[in-house]
Amino acid sequence: MGNQFVKKPKVTDVDRAILALKTQRRKLSQYQRKLDAVIEAEKQAARDLIREKKKDRALLALKKKKAQEELLKKVDSWLINVEQQLADIELASKQKDVFDSLKAGSNALKAIQNELNIEDVQKLMDDTAEAKAYQDEINAILGDKLSAEDEEEVLAEFENLETQLIEDDLPEVPTAASIYTDEKLDLPVVPTTAADVEVAANSTKKGTYPFLLFS
């Protein structure tokens, strides 16, 4: 483990400021505890002195206690100030980080845009349009040549193809004789009298006649 190229974190002035504030915070806390102890002691002393009927001394102890309590209030507010400033430093440092990264992003964008010259883009688009127009012209010329020479041939071929297709599509037309000889029509017997109808109805029940005609 003798890596000399390990990156050591840099200590900035901001870090030193934070360290100083945190040290102060600790010292103030310590002072608070000390004042608490003194206040408690003076309270106890005053109690004892009253018990011993030493009124003046008791009053003195109480006055001292009051003074310490005032001091404690001040220390409390200093402590709040220190905490506030620590919070402010943290916030400011984060804001700077955000600003720095936004700036870096903006710079990167500008650099990229610098490489992309608007005039170059315009020239590129013009060149492309020119090339396309040239191509269209060639197509037009070639196109004309074709239709002048081959249009008649193409048209003739087209008509041939059309008539061929029409012939293939027409259905078979049956001859007159085939209508009557191909099928034998099987018509059912039509009953005429009532008796016949009954016979027909009965036989229908057996299923021989598919339908019944009543006259």
Partner 1 sequence: MQKLGEFKLPHFFNYPPYFTLQPVRDTREKQVQLWKDLILDYCRTQKVFVIGLEEEFPLFSNPVIGRSLTHEAREAFLSALVADGRAEWMDKGHRKCLILWHRIQEWAEILVQFARDNGLEDGVVTMEEIRFGTESQGTELQGIDRTILNRALKILEQKGKLVVFKGTSTDDEGVKFSL
Q: How far is the CB of 19 from partner 1 (least distance, A)?
A: 4
Stretch that binds partner 1, among 8-16, 61-69, 74-82, 116-124 (CB under 8 A): 8-16
* By CB under 8 A, residue 9 contacts partner 1: yes
CB atoms within 10 A of CB 82: 20
CB 197 within 8 Å of CB 214: yes
How far apart are alpha carbons 53 and 63 in whole angstroms? Answer: 17
Q: How far is the CB of 27 from partner 1 (least distance, A)?
A: 9
The candidate with the shortest Cα–Cα distance to 75, out of 126, 20, 24, is 24
| Amino acid letter, residue 82 | V
Write the interaction track for partner 1 spanning residues 22-41; mark x where CB under 8 A is met and - where it is not: xx--x---------------
Site for partner 1 in 43-82 (CB under 8 A): none
* By CB under 8 A, residue 8 contacts partner 1: yes
Q: How far is the CB of 46 from partner 1 (least distance, A)?
A: 32
Structure tokens at 103: 């700036």
Q: How far is the CB of 68 from partner 1 (least distance, A)?
A: 24
* By CB under 8 A, residue 101 contacts partner 1: no
Residue 11 DSSP symbol: P
17/146 with CB nearer partner 1 = 17
Helix (H), strand (E) at residue 182: helix 176-182
How far apart are alpha carbons 206 and 28 in whole angstroms? Answer: 120
**Binding residue for partner 1, selected from 6, 148, 170, 185, defined by CB under 8 A:** 6
Residue that is written with structure tokens 């011993």 in the block:
52
11/112 with CB nearer partner 1 = 11
**Binding residue for partner 1, selected from 20, 102, 108, 109, defined by CB under 8 A:** 20
Task: Give the chain's radius of gyration (CA, Å).
Answer: 58
* By CB under 8 A, residue 98 contacts partner 1: no
SS3 131: helix
Contacting residues toward partner 1, per CB under 8 A: 1, 6-9, 11, 15-20, 22-23, 26
